[in-house]
Amino acid sequence: MEKTAEKIHKLYIIAHKYYIERKTQQEIANELNTNRVVVNRSLKQAKKLGIIQIRLNGDSSEVDSLKAYFLKTFNFLKSVEIVPISYQTDENICISLMSEALDGYIKDNYSIGIGWGTTMEKISTHLQPERKYPNSQFISLMGSTNQLPPYFQTNNIVKRFADAYNAKPVFMFAPFIIENVLDKRTLSLSKDISDIIVMWGKLDLIISGIGAYISKSPFFKDRILSDAYLKELIAHNVVGDVLTHFFDERGNFIETEMYEKIMNISIDDYLKTNLRIGVAVGSDKVQPILGTLRGEIINVLITDVHTANLILHTERVE
């Protein structure tokens, strides 16, 4: 007999596809390899169980218990958002729900710093905010380079956020890597760059991904950063990064000369920002997320139920 949690999970997916994605019952049946009668019956059952109301509600018991665990174990957290759909089960619904959760933290008259990453890029394409905030601004937190994949093009992510909220985008028109330290200092003194650096120290909110798998990062695979830096990070047991600030499993940041050549927000400005949201999903993000939590690097976590469970079990084992 199908477990209750699995059953509700399936009903939720069907309800989301029908009411949120506006797909027909036949389209849903085709996607799920079933028939329209089953979809119709599922929608009726979802209404009966209260999954379909004014809003969609998932299997709240599991999510609520996970939230309680995180808030008790990491009591510095201001909040944790756990979407009830696994990224592995349905990527689009998961990302859509994460963007909805994120929407609750964005206010008018806010200065919001934006980072990069695969999850950040996908969220930026799923934004459907209920309100517009024309007095807010979304600010790039690092330079860019055409040598990196699209999910490292922060200015593009900033533009999508700003367009979605009818807000002002603030782009960083500077390279991510500046080979000469003196050149970086000179560039930082230019008005365009210096104005952004000042903004970095006055942010209301930062939204960023959480990096993993340092040795597989495009920074090193594409030799944007030298192998010497990779060896240094591996020697310090680095498990992840936030905005290219690398940390170990306890959340301790690694000091390295590499930062003198990178154009990004300083770790001091990052940590003094009141709200620091980390968005990440997947088994490869478990250790990096744990690092950000143990080191109190982020103070709001947005993830999915699958990743949250993996974090819970990993933390208990360790």
> What is the maximum alpha-carbon separation in the chain?
69
Q: Name the token pair of 253.
A: 């940041």
Cβ atoms within 10 Å of 53's Cβ, excluding its own: 9
Q: Is the dihedral of CA 199, 201, 207, 212 positive or negative?
A: positive
Q: What is the three-class DSSP state of 124?
A: helix
User: Is the whole model's pTM more than 0.75, yes or no?
Assistant: yes
Q: How far apart are CA 278 and CA 275, in angstroms?
A: 10
Cβ atoms within 10 Å of 162's Cβ, excluding its own: 22
Q: Name the token pair of 104.
A: 């609750």
Q: How far apart are CA 156 and CA 162, in angstroms?
A: 10
What's the topology of domain 60-317?
A: Rossmann fold (3.40.50)
Could you tell me if 313 and 118 are in contact, meaning their C-beta atoms sit under 8 angstroms apart? no
DSSP state of 18: I
Cβ-based neighbours of 116, under 8 Å, separated by 6 or more: 142, 151, 152, 153, 154, 157, 208, 209, 243
Could you tell me if 165 and 132 are in contact, meaning their C-beta atoms sit under 8 angstroms apart? yes
4-49: CATH class: mainly alpha
Residues of the chain with CATH 3.40.50.1360: 60-317
C-alpha Rg value of the chain to the nearest Å? 21
How does strand 245-248 pair with strand 238-242? antiparallel
pLDDT, one tens digit for every residue, the chain (318 residues): 455 677 888 888 998 888 888 888 899 999 999 998 899 899 888 888 777 664 555 556 788 899 999 999 999 999 999 999 889 888 988 999 999 999 999 999 999 999 998 999 999 999 989 899 999 999 999 998 777 788 889 999 999 999 999 999 999 999 888 878 788 888 888 999 999 999 999 999 999 999 987 877 777 777 777 888 889 999 999 999 999 999 999 999 999 888 888 999 999 999 999 999 999 999 999 999 999 999 999 999 999 999 999 999 898 655
Q: Name the token pair of 162.
A: 């700003």
Residues of the chain with CATH 1.10.10: 4-49
In what side-by-side order are the strands of the sheet with 111-114?
79-83, 300-304, 275-279, 205-209, 111-114, 137-140, 168-170
Q: How far apart are CA 128 and CA 215, in angstroms?
A: 35
Q: How far apart are CA 149 and CA 123, in angstroms?
A: 16
Q: Name the token pair of 255.
A: 């000091």
Cβ atoms within 10 Å of 122's Cβ, excluding its own: 22
